[in-house]
Amino acid sequence: MGSQARNYSQLTLKRLFALSGNKCAFPGCNIIFTNNETTENLSNICHIEDAEEGGRYNPDMNDSERASFDNLILLCPTHHKITDNLALFSVENLREMKRNHETNYLNERLTNNPSMLSNAINAISNLDLENDIETDSLKIFNLKEKIAYNQVKRNISIIDEYKIYHSKINSLYDELESQGSIKKEKLLNNIKLIYTKVKGNYILDSENIIESIRLNSDNIIDDIYNELFIQMEKSSFFNEDIMLGIRLIMVDAFIRCKILEEPI
């Protein structure tokens, strides 16, 4: 195990706390990590696949992957210790715990702030990425075919959980178009432009572009989220709900083939 398995980036830490709602991910736990009344932080940053040999350690991971957002879960000290029981808490158990916690928090925020998706659409569409507006190729593909064609693996569960918001987002787009707005086109083009930029970092001078994409499809999705997060953080629209909304908008953009490749 290298020393970098606990070298968490600031972006990773921000995502962890924002998408967890600043709460322990263990089911039924109501521990809030930080508040305005104390400077104490009750969180433990826990590895799903362990940082050190033994337990849930995966020798095929590198230290960068061990320290990544996907391999980390926030727990209170009590539940960190409890989840060390390997007989009760496997890697998949912890991944499911994290997914369920983030989804429950997202649904809670959507209930409390019904305009979250509209605000996210407005924020992403207002990014000035200096690209021409594309008015065609907004096709929607069969989701299973799209996933299989690009060989997405790690992000399948997120896509599957958040695809239910596609119809809601589509209704918001229809409403914007009825008002003569081109925010839908601007948003999708901004995401496509970011995808093209991120994709280029992986394909380089590859002679087989689709194979390079398939080998890195999950990393590409993660990098697009990170880039959108960075762009939002620099904008005047940034807030926690925008961070949550980005995930839903990205899944919708994936369905519309603005992220990864169209199935042939």
Instruction: Summarize the confidence of residues 244-260 as an average pLDDT.
Output: 93
**pLDDT at residue 138 in the model:** 55
Confidence of residue 113 (pLDDT cuts 50, 70, 90): very high
C-alpha distances out from residue 41 to 169, 238, 244, Å: 36, 24, 22
CB atoms within 10 A of CB 87: 5
Three-state DSSP class for residue 258 = coil
Structure-token pair, residue 196: 């093209």
Residues 6+ apart with CB under 8 A from 204: 212
pLDDT band at 264 (very low <50, low <70, confident <90, very high): confident
pLDDT for residue 243: 86
Distance CA 102, CA 108 (A): 10
pLDDT at 35 over 90: no
Tokens representing residue 145 in the block: 């075919």
Q: Is the dihedral of CA 95, 261, 165, 143 positive or negative?
A: negative
Q: Which of 44-53, 72-81, 189-198, 238-247 has the lowest mean pLDDT?
A: 238-247
Closest by alpha carbon to 119, among 235, 256, 258?
235
Domain ranges of the chain: 3-104, 114-255
The segment with the largest mean pLDDT, out of 13-22, 137-146, 212-221, is 212-221
Number of neighbouring beta carbons within 10 Å of residue 223: 18
**Average pLDDT taken over every residue of the chain:** 90
Q: Are 66 and 49 in contact (CB under 8 A)?
A: yes
Q: How much is the pLDDT for 50?
A: 95
36-40, 90-94, 197-201, 252-256: range with lowest mean pLDDT:
36-40
Q: Is 137 in a helix, a strand, or coil?
A: coil
Q: What is the pLDDT of residues 168-227, one digit of tens each?
A: 999 999 999 999 999 999 999 999 999 999 999 999 888 999 999 999 999 999 999 999
Q: What is the mean pLDDT of residues 226-241?
A: 87
Sequence letter at residue 148: A
pLDDT at 208 (0 to 100): 94
